[in-house]
Amino acid sequence: MDDAQVMHNSQDLLTQIIIYDVFTPPVSSRIYVYSSLAAYEAIRYAKPGNASLTARLRGFKPMPEPEKNKNYNFTLAATKAFFTVVHKVVFSLDSLKHFEETTFNDFKDRMDADTYQRSVAFGEAVGKAVLERANADGYIKSRGKPKFLGSNAPGKWRPTPPDYMDGVEWCWNTMKPLVLDSAAQFMPPRPPAYSTDTNSAFFRANKEVYTIGKTLTGEQKTIARYWDDNPFVIEHSGHMMFGNKKITPAGHWMGITAIAAKQSHADAVKTAKSYALTAIALYDAFISCWDEKYRSNVIRPVTVINEFIDRNWVPFLQTPPFPEYTSGHSTITASAATALTALYGDHFAFQDTSDLHYIGMQRHFNSFQDAAAEASISRVYGGIHYRHSVDIGAESGKKVGALVVDKLLK
């Protein structure tokens, strides 16, 4: 197995665990970013000239450095760093055992004992240094917050059918960003004012969602399903309910990152850097978007349409449990696409198979931006977002992604 494939296999296992453990979309981005940064900070020494990323990010102390004139296997170190972090940020640790045993034994067979132990120790030190930042990012405090149950005030978000879950990660804007100055750095314009006047911009936006939902083409349904990436979906059959586990939005774009790295034959260092940069773009985009979601606290289309247009209308996709404005998919996909475009170019055509294992679907795109645009409009087709929300979310995401590129690649 080549070194880049070790990076891919580790990320793929992490995605499987995130799906199994049913982490929320924002939390999944946190898991990806710290584990990916740890891997990169350990492996970058394998190829001189690759600067530290954490040195340019907020909240990190200087990373450990390898001893001079000593032998290391930096892919082994990166793998150890990656899983040192993973062990502290996921639940299903049993799922890691076989992979780690097999992988580390393979490394052990390829080098002398001193190099092996030195590489493992260095990787563990890097992982622990990354975890220091993770432990101070606000996540632990956020777990003790009360539930967000919404509001019955006109125009404000309230839990949506079929499961009426409370609002997810309502204080995610308290998380410490990595490149943003603050969660509100790219605050979007105010959404259209709530109104039941049929001539108002807000009501027209609801009518558009309703009309599109009633006349969806086969292709629009396919697009909506393809980008659903909703880990909260609950299937109902009579009195039975069961979870339909899916990849998260962040996981989908980490999968696209894997495709880009493999297709371009990226070496292990560029592969690790690609994962880290994409994860940073996703993580800060979630913070930016969730800051606005719970500031404006906008009501979802299904609530308005059921109350004022058609009480029997059901959106094509289940509405995720958090406020509407702005679209999370639009924000985070635009941010990730901006980072990937900087790494692999404007016209990087690819076959997206990242979700094939989970939903049996794949699609072709001519660029990362094309994929992000389709992911964005899919939320209107799904009946869960207004068009202005996806458009403005995409613009916000591009700003976050551009900042990531400016701070880390220039």
**pLDDT higher at 357 or 75:** 75
pLDDT at residue 232, rounded to an integer: 72
Give start-end residues of each CATH 1.10.606.20 domain in the chain. Answer: 150-408
Q: Which residue has the tokens 């059918």?
A: 161
d(CA 108, CA 110) in angstroms, rounded, equals 5
Determine the residue type at 284: D
CA distances from 26 to 7, 165, 292, 333, 379 (A): 23, 16, 14, 13, 18
pLDDT tens per residue across span 37-61: 999 999 999 999 999 999 999 999 9
Residue 233, pLDDT above cutoff 90: no
pLDDT tens per residue across span 249-301: 999 999 999 999 999 999 999 999 999 999 999 999 999 999 999 999 999 99
Residue 204, pLDDT above cutoff 60: yes
Q: Using pLDDT thresholds of 50, 70 and 90, give the confidence band for residue 236.
A: low
pLDDT tens per residue across span 150-176: 999 999 999 999 999 999 999 999 999
The domain 150-408 is classified under which CATH number: 1.10.287.130, 3.40.50.10320, 3.20.20.10, 1.10.606.20?
A: 1.10.606.20
For the entire predicted model, the pTM comes to 0.97
First to last CA, the chain: 32
pLDDT at residue 95, rounded to an integer: 86
pLDDT at residue 410, rounded to an integer: 87
Residue 239, pLDDT above cutoff 90: no
Radius of gyration from C-alpha coordinates of the chain: 22
pLDDT tens per residue across span 61-77: 999 999 999 999 999 99
The pLDDT mean for the chain works out to 96
Determine the 3-state secondary structure of 142 from DSSP. Answer: helix
pLDDT tens per residue across span 16-42: 999 999 999 999 999 999 999 999 999
d(CA 319, CA 301) in angstroms, rounded, equals 9
